[in-house]
Structure 1
């Protein structure tokens, strides 16, 4: 195979694996597309997390815990400790939210460790090679921008709810017009539009940064796996490809856990900030 053909083959391979099983709901652009694979896997993983923790919560005993119960308690204590260090108010509703975000994001990120060609392999043996060639199924919901964006928008509305609960509508509106430049007299009127613009930017940056950080890391990690898979296409580079894939998978475990932790802890930090007065 020539170098150009090899490059074209790898490009075609990556393009195929970046495709989604989706339906177009509105218009012709990406914003009007609903990715069934990301939604389906995210839903199943969310339900799996709820079922797993609910099972051990019902089976919990005061005596010596089982290994499953001990693991669940360890995760909950870890998350609660992080929330306690970050949020200094009533955390009875914050800890469950943080636990859900952390475990759900970690579950979705972990799908990146599943072999890239597993969906195609299954479709090939069930429906044939031609169906596999024209089918698309991405296994990592967080490598799809729509999933981190949906999570971040949800966090954004949660922040608004906490801000309104802590300050009320009038208090929040006053803060938007007076902070961060707490001027008095005519200067307060002049600086009100500046304060409003800065506060709007500050609030919008939070969900955007949450979404782009998670998406960028997981999308980049997925691309690295695809590039390494290209090494394994030839018997000459098959062994180096296996070694590179193993090394990247081990390192990627850290990224999987770290991105879940960052998304969780930033959400708690943002909630604490939304409840505080400037």
Structure 2
């Protein structure tokens, strides 16, 4: 929530909270806060699952083991239903994507000034955005990672010639239609990582903006009237977005493993 004595105007407050802590300028700017919280949530995921694995028992499981087993089974079931190839990487990748993005999204439920206010006044950090998935650089880098795996497995499974034929001879299997096929397939191929990253960014950025608007336009003592209902609804959004990113990753990699020619 905004501090009771906040001196910023509403527009200044919104701009301030939408600014990343950066090093460099333009294309070469590095968003330190997004990288820090991405690494932090990733390490949290590894620590929780490692702890659950080390304390796992064949007897009566504890709450942490039950929770981790439920998540693993949920992801594994979706991989089995969607992925039609054979690759031991897919299930761990899907689990990592789902849990990591979910944890990054959950950072959007942290009150707006809970971390930026002490960071600015106690540590001298002028800007701090704590939601990595509301940064297009983070979401697009993850999407490009999935895209690289798509290209790699498409060439590995189908061969370079097979992958080229898939682009040139689909959907119309005639030499005259090769230019049209290439245009259609390349646009379709490039749209996958673009939509994957932008969908996650757009939803999370919009959710973050709503929280900031509530904090900027309502008095601090009444902000819970807007932030609590929105947070309850936003829980559904952050979970769905993690699930959608995971499922599309599985679908795209399954398509890369299909040898149709």
Task: State whether TM-score is above 0.5.
Answer: yes
CA RMSD in angstroms comes to 1.5
- Tell me which of 244, 247, 250 is aligned to 2:232: 250
**Of the candidates 252, 257, 260, which is equivalent to residue 242 of structure 2?**
260
Alignment match, 2:4: none
Residue 113 of structure 1 is aligned with which of 87, 93, 109?
A: 109
Q: Following TM superposition, by how much is the alpha carbon of 1:277 offset from its aligned partner in structure 2, in angstroms?
A: 3.8
Match of 1:138?
129
Deviation of the 1:92 alpha carbon: 2.4
C-alpha distance in structure 2 between counterparts of 1:23 and 1:45, whole Å: 21
Structure 1 gap segments, 5+ residues each = 1-7
5 Å matches for 1:79-118? 79-118=75-114
Residue 3 of structure 2 aligns with which residue?
A: none
In 2, Cα distance between equivalents of 1:149 and 1:57 = 31
- Indicate yes or no: 2:217 matched with 1:231: yes
C-alpha separation in 1, matches of 2:158 and 2:76: 25
Question: Which of 149, 159, 166 is matched with 2:150 structurally?
Answer: 159
Distance, in Å, in 1 between the alignment partners of 2:183 and 2:259 is 18
Aligned to 1:4: none
2:177 is the counterpart of 1:195: no
SS at match of 1:118: coil
Secondary structure of the 1:90 match is coil
Decide whether the 8 Å contact of 1:232 with 1:242 is kept in 2. Answer: no
> Following TM superposition, by how much is the alpha carbon of 1:272 offset from its aligned partner in structure 2, in angstroms?
1.0
CA change 1:125–1:32 in 2 (3 A) is: closer
Any idea what SS the aligned residue of 1:261 has? Answer: helix
Q: CA deviation at 1:125?
A: 5.1
CA distance in 2, matches of 1:182, 1:75: 43
Is the 2:10–2:217 Cα contact (8 Å) retained in structure 1? Answer: no
Shift of 1:61: 1.6
Structure whose alpha-carbon radius of gyration is higher: 1
User: CA shift at 1:89, angstroms?
Assistant: 2.2
Question: How far does the alpha carbon of each residue in 1:200-236 deviate from its partner, in whole angstroms, 9 at most, with x for none?
Answer: 11110000000110000000000000111123336xx
RCO higher in structure (CA 8 A, sep ≥6): 2
Alignment match, 1:32 = 28
Alignment of 1:68 onto 2:96: no
Distance 2:23 2:117 in 1: 23
Contact 1:83–1:91, Cα closer than 8 Å, also in 2: no
* Counterpart among 146, 156, 167 of residue 176 in structure 1: 167
What number of residue pairs does the alignment pair up? 253
Quote the Cα distance in structure 2 between the aligned partners of 1:164 and 1:80: 25
CA contact (8 A) 2:116 2:129 kept: no
Aligned mates of 2:116, 2:193 — CA distance in 1: 34
How many angstroms apart in 2 are the aligned matches of 1:198 and 1:274? 17
Structure 1 segments, 4+ long, off by >4 Å, are: none
Q: Structure 2: which 5+ runs fail to align?
A: 1-7
Provide the rounded CA distance (Å) in 1 between the counterparts of 2:116 and 2:33: 14
> Per the alignment, in what secondary structure is the counterpart of residue 40 of structure 1?
helix
How far 1:104 moved relative to its partner? 0.5
Question: Hey, what does 2:5 align to over in structure 1?
Answer: none
